[in-house]
Structure 1
Amino acid sequence: MKSLFLLTALASVLSLSSCQNIGKRNGENLTKTGVAVKSEKATFYIDTLHSGLDNPWGIAWLPDGRILVTERKGEIFVFENERYTGKKIDGFPEIYERGQGGLMDIQRHPQYAENGWLYVTYAEPGQGGGSTVLIRFRLNGNQITDLETLYQTLPLSTSGVHFGSRIIFDKAGYLYFSTGDRGVKKNAQLLSNDMGKIHRLHDDGRIPNDNPFVHDPTAKHSIWSYGHRNMQGMVYDSANDLIYATEHGPRGGDELNVVEKGRNYGWPVITYGIDYSGAIVSELTEKEGMEQPIHYWTPSIAACGLLLYTGDKYPGWQGNLFSGALASTHVARIEVSRGRYVDEEKLLQNIGRVRQVAQSPDGFIFVLTEGPGMLLKLTPGE
């Protein structure tokens, strides 16, 4: 089975060679002002809006034109007219800044104009370590008000890895957020804890009565899916009522999944990766009752952030997924069709560790990178 896996992985790498060459040529020109980047289905320019970030994580647009960018160290930067104002949001609670932990994703409520709710996931400190927490709050100018804790994941851990975490809403208004296994592999298979899961809630934190394990007294009733390692990309496809999620593998085996109710995604029982030491995590790449990814990356790209493009600024990209790549320092443009992987192209090769790719309300694509820490805008070209 492992031999078959290695042959499949090699074929996957070879099939991307032409895309990699395009990406490398693009990367050489990324810092040159006014140079068009030509990709397979679009030509665009890169506008560096800000280059003073450290570890940016999430981005949200407000109806008044402000853009909010979260920093893992616990700050939320305020942009106006696509430029940093020098101001930050005040009143955010203490964070657990340890390893990968800190301030993570930010999303506005689908009816933000009516209710003013912003949703954030962050690592919160506590006795015995830290945990991923989901909160919501409103803003009065740049001051946080009405802060509510909606969900705290348990158990607490002193581990500095695998906190997750992304937030999405579906068209029915349900909220989903992801959590990592906190570096303890068995957590992902245990329904009795919150780690290595996708959770589904009402927008006020209540648990829906049609969640898959809501009648299991031994399970966390918020769980929507399980068997995940560390999901840092998640997006909702409203046209097809699908959730796509990207998941960090260990050494190899990063995954793109279609997430469905109550399904087990296999970690660590099945995996297309090996441990960082080279040790075998599992001899199995598939097992009955466990879901297969629609695509996986070996070697790992360190998939992070995920966008489903629905705008009209780049017609050739409509309906494509865009995943950041931390380790491979590029953006993966992924063609999908109703939950099936079709093709892939590398964009912005060598741009930096891409943490998030997002779409503005007017349909432009923005990219957050670290090392260097930048907020970039892709402007369509002829």
Structure 2
Amino acid sequence: MLRKKSYLPISILSGILFLGFACAPKQAAEEPIDETYATQTDKLLIKVDTLYSELENPWGMTWLPDGKMLITERKGEILIFQDDAFTGQKIQGLPPVHEVNQAGLLDIAIHPKYEENGWIYIAYAKHFEDSTGATTIMRFKLDGNTAVNQEELIVAGPSWKGGRHFGSRIVFDNDGYLYFSNGDKGNIPMNAQNLNNAHGKIHRIMDDGTIPADNPFTDSLGNISSIWTYGNRNPQGMIYDKANNRLWEVEHGPMGGDELNLIEKGKNYGWPVITYGQNYDGTPITEITEKEGMEQPVHYWVPSIATCGMTLVTSEKYPAWKGNILVAALAKQHIARVELNGTTYVGEEKLLQDIGRVRQVAESPNGYIYAITEATGLLVKLLPIR
């Protein structure tokens, strides 16, 4: 099914839904489900348009200046959409990926000066002959629908067995620096505190993969010189606030302790020395949640919502949301609309509860908000109608 405009094919609240309040009972799954929602503020009425329902483990999305939208699927494919519809075409010639669990083809972004240079960037798990993988950033250009001029910019090593905690988000700042996230790889949490490996970190590179001279950690002591921050467990969401020159990140906690962080040069965000989460068997990871020299999150979630992709609302199309951060929630299956006062957390609203495991939410160049879901395979567009 390529397009569905009338109903969402999932179990969510029916009719006019005041999100964040217990105002309406759930409908049975076989009943029609209305797509129109009133938000908690009662200032914004939203119609959810289901554009596509056959995505397979999507991860990232971006737009080209000609209006095409590109969506990555973890198995190693990039789907091409035009005018909100799947064209049936995919980008050809992409590198093979290490597709294991969370690893595979992950995020995608275009260069801020794409119209001048044509560069598209992807984050993926590069596959090695010993069946390990490593988060890798590469760039390419398009010749028709074929990826050409491919350049591998950086491999965040060492490569690792399995497919846990590959991070992967890519953003550019106002000066053209590229930031990408890499998780701690799961089975050795202290990777995140070790500056001699690339895991559990946010990295900063030039657009061609070279290392900026003013990065906080030099390689003189074996440090990985691309590191910008460390102590980040598994950052699967990142956004750059152009107006205020701020880099925001969300990362998965273990059982509890998902974090929203303001990312600043050279800082240690604490994992696993401090955390508000615990082991999956309920035992403590650590006895402390604060320590001198380690940053506190702007906000944390207990229980975990399983934070993933995120976007900053800058569009005039959603006036009641402008300046808010939208955070995809995998486990809790909604979008968290986070209100901020500068860099201080104010509160949040749960949008589209039970839509499915939301992997990414993004604002398009023309100001509309889109989201993709994992298990249900949806691409949806949020249309403001009041």
Report the Cα distance in structure 1 between the residues aligned to 2:189 and 2:323, rounded to whole angstroms: 34
Report the Cα distance in structure 2 between the residues aligned to 1:60 and 1:345, rounded to whole angstroms: 25
Which residue of structure 1 aligns with residue 380 of structure 2? 376
SS in 1 for 2:378: strand
Report the Cα distance in structure 2 between the residues aligned to 1:201 and 1:186, rounded to whole angstroms: 23
**Cα pair distance change 1:176/1:72, threshold 3 Å:** same
**Cα pair distance change 1:290/1:271, threshold 3 Å:** same
Which residue of structure 1 aligns with residue 216 of structure 2? 212
CA contact (8 A) 2:19 2:352 kept: no
Q: 1:20, CA displacement in angstroms?
A: 5.4
SS in 2 for 1:371: coil
2:305 to 297, 301, 320: 301
Q: How does 1:1-382 map to 2 (within 5 A)?
A: 19=20, 21=22, 32-33=33-34, 35-40=36-41, 41-128=43-130, 129-183=132-186, 184-214=188-218, 216-382=220-386
Report the Cα distance in structure 1 between the residues aligned to 2:21 and 2:303, rounded to whole angstroms: 14
Aligned-pair identity (%):
53
Report the Cα distance in structure 2 between the residues aligned to 1:237 and 1:168, rounded to whole angstroms: 10
The more displaced of 131-140 and 208-217 is 208-217
The more displaced of 361-370 and 31-40 is 31-40
What letter corresponds to residue 273 of structure 1 in structure 2? G
Report the Cα distance in structure 1 between the residues aligned to 2:221 and 2:32, rounded to whole angstroms: 56
Report the Cα distance in structure 1 between the residues aligned to 2:86 and 2:306, rounded to whole angstroms: 28
Alignment deviations for residues 324-377 of structure 1 (CA, whole Å, 9 cap, x no partner) = 000000000001122211110000000000000000111000011122011100
CA contact (8 A) 1:242 1:339 kept: no
Q: 1:97, CA displacement in angstroms?
A: 0.3
Report the Cα distance in structure 1 between the residues aligned to 2:366 and 2:239, rounded to whole angstroms: 18
- Of the two structures, which has the highest relative contact order with CA contacts closer than 8 Å and spacing of 6 or more? 1
Flag the structure with higher helix content.
1
Gaps in structure 1 of 5+ consecutive residues: 1-16
Report the Cα distance in structure 1 between the residues aligned to 2:35 and 2:68, rounded to whole angstroms: 26
Report the Cα distance in structure 2 between the residues aligned to 1:238 and 1:310, rounded to whole angstroms: 10
Report the Cα distance in structure 2 between the residues aligned to 1:296 and 1:19, rounded to whole angstroms: 18
Report the Cα distance in structure 1 between the residues aligned to 2:27 and 2:321, rounded to whole angstroms: 17
Q: 1:238, CA displacement in angstroms?
A: 1.5
**Cα pair distance change 1:187/1:215, threshold 3 Å:** closer
Report the Cα distance in structure 2 between the residues aligned to 1:213 and 1:344, rounded to whole angstroms: 35
Q: 1:214, CA displacement in angstroms?
A: 2.3
Provide the aligned C-alpha RMSD in A: 2.0
Q: 1:277, CA displacement in angstroms?
A: 1.3
**Cα pair distance change 1:20/1:201, threshold 3 Å:** farther
SS in 1 for 2:148: strand
SS in 2 for 1:154: strand
SS in 1 for 2:309: strand
Alignment TM-score, normalising by the size of structure 1: 0.92
What letter corresponds to residue 159 of structure 2 in structure 1? L
CA contact (8 A) 1:302 1:326 kept: yes
What letter corresponds to residue 381 of structure 2 in structure 1? K
Equivalences, count: 366
What letter corresponds to residue 92 of structure 1 in structure 2? L
Report the Cα distance in structure 1 between the residues aligned to 2:32 and 2:80, rounded to whole angstroms: 24
Alignment deviations for residues 171-225 of structure 1 (CA, whole Å, 9 cap, x no partner) = 0111000000001201000000000000001100010000001264321000000
Gaps in structure 2 of 5+ consecutive residues: 1-17
**Cα pair distance change 1:370/1:22, threshold 3 Å:** farther
What letter corresponds to residue 180 of structure 2 in structure 1? F
Alignment deviations for residues 252-300 of structure 1 (CA, whole Å, 9 cap, x no partner) = 0000000100000000000000011112110010000000001000000
